[in-house]
């Protein structure tokens, strides 16, 4: 893999994928903190207004009118699909569970905030990593649990202390200055990637003992990086940041292909907190400006 800096061509170059703004979805009263897709392609957003909003799939995009399917008293920080329904983490430490039929309830989980929700486990401000439905705490970590990744080598959890923990072995890797905010398995490589509060993208080699060995560190953004997602075809990895930009990285070379930021494109005006790829290759992004922007890419 080669290394580039965040000062790469922000307007792209002739062979880079060129972003095209296809849609702007509005409806939340405040920041949007997470996005996910349902099994039939509907888009779901979780907001600081406590609303869980479903945007029905329409053609190659989504309807401009979202439907609120649940409302918590506290902000919703994370959302995922679960057996036809949805799970969301609340700012006051609960787990919001939405059934396929539309009924929903909130149960306590992590005092101080639930920041990571998967169908199997959750993590939060109390530093605990809990499995469900029994609620057993598999680990009590220093700092807040901010992200997780399940791999063939087991589950890795990132915390606000900048550490990546391997749950099964207890191995710890000092990864970022600031919180670890997202992790993925890098497409086409036997490597784990992480992003964090220091604006860096780090590539790691995994070991059988759960320890991570540094392969490469990239200055990816000028502010904290909040999300990292792999395109459906595995060719691109997207990152988004507090610096109001979206970066698209070549998965094979790690070259910065495109950076979506004002004034080159009509992007977000505030921190970008969430992103998700659709099956047709469009990219949905959302952030503190309360908008969901849908991007297509041409060459």
Mean pLDDT lowest for which of 151-155, 205-209, 228-232, 289-293? 205-209
What's the whole-number mean pLDDT along residues 121-131? 98
CA angle 288, 155, 167 (to 5 degrees): 110
Task: Provide the percentage of residues in the chain whose pLDDT is more than 70.
Answer: 95
Q: Are 274 and 32 in contact (CB under 8 A)?
A: yes
Q: Are 76 and 46 in contact (CB under 8 A)?
A: yes
pLDDT reported for residue 5: 36
pLDDT reported for residue 11: 42
Q: Are 8 and 222 in contact (CB under 8 A)?
A: no
Residue 121 to residue 134: CA distance in whole angstroms: 10
For the chain, the structural domain boundaries read: 18-298
18-298: CATH topology is Methylamine Dehydrogenase; Chain H (2.130.10)
pLDDT reported for residue 220: 98
**Element at 103 (helix H, strand E):** none
What's the whole-number mean pLDDT along residues 30-54? 97
Q: How many CA atoms lie within 13 A of 35 on its CB side?
A: 30
Residue 70 to residue 158: CA distance in whole angstroms: 28
What's the whole-number mean pLDDT along residues 30-38? 98
Query: What is the three-class DSSP state of 47?
Result: strand
In terms of pLDDT, which residue wins out, 209 or 179?
179
pLDDT tens digits for 93-109? Answer: 999 999 999 999 999 99
pLDDT reported for residue 279: 87
Q: Are 73 and 117 in contact (CB under 8 A)?
A: no
pLDDT tens digits for 236-257? Answer: 999 999 999 999 999 999 999 9
Given a cut of 50, whether residue 9 has pLDDT beyond it is no
CA angle 89, 117, 207 (to 5 degrees): 150
pLDDT tens digits for 132-174? Answer: 999 999 999 999 999 999 999 999 999 999 999 999 999 999 9
By CB atoms closer than 10 A (0-12, 13-18, 19+), residue 193 is buried
pLDDT reported for residue 1: 34
What's the whole-number mean pLDDT along residues 44-50? 98
The answer for residues whose C-beta is within 8 angstroms of residue 133's C-beta and 6 or more apart is: none
Given a cut of 70, whether residue 6 has pLDDT beyond it is no
pLDDT reported for residue 155: 97
The answer for residues whose C-beta is within 8 angstroms of residue 13's C-beta and 6 or more apart is: none
Query: What is the three-class DSSP state of 179?
Result: coil
Residue with structure tokens 């309830």? 105
Say what the pTM is: 0.92
How confident is residue 191, by pLDDT bands cut at 50, 70 and 90?
Answer: very high
Q: Are 163 and 171 in contact (CB under 8 A)?
A: no
The per-residue b/e assignment along 202-229, b for 16 or more CB within 10 angstroms, e otherwise, is bbbebeeebebeeeeebebbeebbbbbb
pLDDT reported for residue 208: 82
pLDDT reported for residue 4: 34
């Amino acid at each position: 893999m080669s290394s580039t800096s965040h000062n790469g061509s922000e307007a792209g170059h002739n062979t880079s994928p060129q972003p095209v703004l296809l849609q702007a979805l509005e409806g939340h009263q405040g920041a949007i903190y997470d996005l996910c897709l349902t099994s039939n392609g509907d888009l779901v957003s979780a907001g600081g207004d406590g609303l869980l909003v479903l945007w029905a799939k329409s053609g190659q995009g989504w309807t401009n009118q979202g439907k609120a399917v649940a409302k918590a008293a506290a902000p919703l920080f994370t959302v995922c699909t679960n057996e036809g329904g949805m799970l969301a983490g609340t700012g006051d430490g609960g787990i919001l569970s939405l059934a396929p039929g539309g009924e929903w309830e909130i149960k306590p989980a992590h005092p101080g905030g639930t920041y990571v929700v998967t169908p199997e486990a959750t993590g939060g401000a109390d530093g605990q990593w809990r499995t469900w439905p029994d609620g057993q705490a598999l680990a009590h970590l220093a700092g807040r649990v901010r992200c997780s990744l399940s791999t063939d080598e087991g589950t890795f959890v990132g915390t606000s202390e900048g550490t990546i923990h391997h749950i099964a072995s207890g191995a710890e890797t000092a990864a970022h200055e600031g919180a670890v905010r997202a992790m993925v398995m890098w497409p086409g490589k036997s490597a784990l990637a992480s992003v964090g509060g220091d604006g860096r993208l780090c590539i790691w080699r995994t070991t059988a003992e759960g320890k991570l060995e540094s392969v490469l560190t990239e200055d990816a953004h000028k502010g904290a990086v909040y999300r990292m997602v792999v395109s459906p075809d595995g060719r691109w990895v997207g990152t988004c940041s507090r610096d109001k930009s979206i970066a698209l990285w070549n998965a094979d070379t790690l070259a910065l292909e495109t950076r979506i930021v004002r004034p080159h494109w009509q992007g977000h005006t505030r921190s970008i907190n969430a992103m998700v790829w659709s099956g047709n290759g469009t990219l949905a992004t959302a952030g503190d400006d309360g908008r969901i922007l849908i991007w297509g890419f041409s060459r």
